[in-house]
Chains A and B, each alone.
Chain A
Amino acid sequence: MSMPEPLRANILVAGDSLAAWMGALAFSRWRPELAVAVAPYHGEDSPIADPVVIARPEFRKLMAQLGLTEADLVSECDGTFLLATRHAGWTGEAAVFHQALGTFGAPANGAAFHHYYQQMRAAGQAPSYGTFSLATSMALAGKFIHPAANPRALESAFDYRIAIDAAKLRDLAKHRALAAGVTQFSTKVMGTAWSDGRIRHLLLDGEQSAEVDFYLDCTGTARGLTGAAGWTGIQALPYRRETGSVETGDGNLSLATVTASPDRWTRELALRTRRVTETFSCLEDGLAHFGYLAVPWRGNCVALGRAACDLPALHAPAFSLLTRELGLLGALLPADPATARVEAREYNRRALTAFGHMRDAQALFEAASARTQGKPSPDLSDNLARKIEQFTSRGRLVMYDDEILSDSEWIACLLGLGFTPECVSPLAMAASVDAVCDNYLRFAKRIRQAVERMPDQQTYIQHMLAEYAKETGPDAV
């Protein structure tokens, strides 16, 4: 019996996940001359792990490269503009704070705002920290506009994320990828033949095989191509996810809420047509499977998405990391990926850095609630330990290369979680407390007034969709 000829292409993407189709679309745009194929993986239990993904500003560049627009995301993927997350309960029932992009307050005399905020707090004259953030104030009022282009305008001092229906984005990416000439194999990938650190071929259903130049493992936690070798587990509380979804377009679109209690946390946010609630409850006896691949690009194969790094759900890490991974791959994209050793080394270094940053952002919350609620404390990386130590000592924020969270998010979270600086910048001490309070309370008033003038997000989006329909024709929406 003779074996059928192997299926051929230049790039084979294994999986039916969001990562798989984003990866396929990306390669079809970056390298239109290459033949890109996508094949499902037999052991991929749930290709869409998250009901909602959240795109950070970093996604914009990739979005442009993929030929997608914000209007596509809003219209086709139920997208909304997320301005802030309200966190409650991480360090006690009453503890509430807001995480948002863009500036909080404004620096003065060479010292950042949070130094002055500490003084206001000490003087008993401090409203919540979020009062000084335009994004937070807009979010609480359910408003939205795009940031002003003029860097001197108050309305330029914020940024936003986009909440997207993950299944719909996968479908959109798939639709666009197929239209761009990506081939979809119907036979499933059953196994992988590695030798000398490279994939020789894939075994497909029905005794078929596929032999290509470069492989993307987008099979999620099945890690179908890369396998368990090199998987580095991390210590984190295992969680079980329960998802609820309410069909309503009503309510505040601009704000997400995260409510924590000692054994669970719940995130609620609005897509355009429904509200989605996800609860993550601790599994005391569960198996911790979280971790990352120590070498995500090995030989002629790169693992993307959950296949490369799987973390707990706080800060919606999956899509941020996928964005980072594809951004890196695009930036390093070699003419012949299969032989690119220097690029692979650089990719691995930077992907691992990104995984570490994301994990640190989560571990900060776990450490804070461990302090107050007697939960097991996570291991702190040196980077995070230094960040906490520097901040609590002098209010100085250490930012590392390629961070994912912005500096203002870190500060809001550190302060909100009770990591209070013991003392503040000497530059901030020169001004009188009365003058400081006076200045910043006026600043907060300007924010309130600016927010009052803005439209609510429902109205803003309706307008945007009407424009979109005009541009793309009546069938598009």
Chain B
Amino acid sequence: MKYISRIFWIALGCTFLFPLYWMISIALKSKSEAYENPFGIPSSWKWQNFSEALSKYNYFTYLENSLIYTLGTIAITLASGSMLAYCLSRMQWRFNSSALFYVSLGLIVPIEVVVIPLFQLIKLLHLKDSYWALILPYSGFAIASCVLMLYAFLRSLPKELEEAACIDGTNVYQAFFKIIFPIIMPALVTQCVLIFIRIWNEFPLAFIIASKDQFRPLTVGLLSFFVNVGVSDWGLIGATMFLSSLPMIIVYMIGNEKIENALTAGAILK
């Protein structure tokens, strides 16, 4: 009984990993083998799919764009979000609770439903062909959960924290960067991981707004590549899929524990 349940769990775990195996195995197969033996182990390893992928697929452009979008969003969201959270939790402002409520409304509406006006707004602000066209809306939508999480974190800290700084004659900006910033680091790391996973894999908005190839992130670039190749060359498709997922797979392998904690942190706080 014990062994049966153990085997069942291993098998179940493997069903989640099967696509990873399949992506790699099909990438190593020749065109004809991909059809004759689509799910088995490749008979011999052929690397030409990868070299073909690197020459036909603008991998490094898309990779660079994904990095710019993700890191840009993280920087802007964490900087502005932590400042607002600090203001709402520690400063005496008449509108603290109403501002908090206002920001929390951002959790209800999914970004997809405002794609059309956002598209118009980006054109109006002349941001259309720049990285800001995605970074700014992404940040706007990431701020709600960032502020709420940091607010909860800051509220749990003792009020006396900045008092010493106050006596030393430090001003509020120095106090924020030298005292508060290091303390809220764990929460910032959590937010960083959450935003990274979300923006790195974001598709619906990028699909509409990054219409020029040179501004496409990996998710959208990959789809347009699939559409161009058609469904004839699965070896090539497998290679591009693997290359596109590789950064995330590496991040996941290194920061497995951190990612797990970050993804589940929101559930505990709420």
- B and A form one assembly: no
Chain B residues within CB distance 8 Å of chain A: none
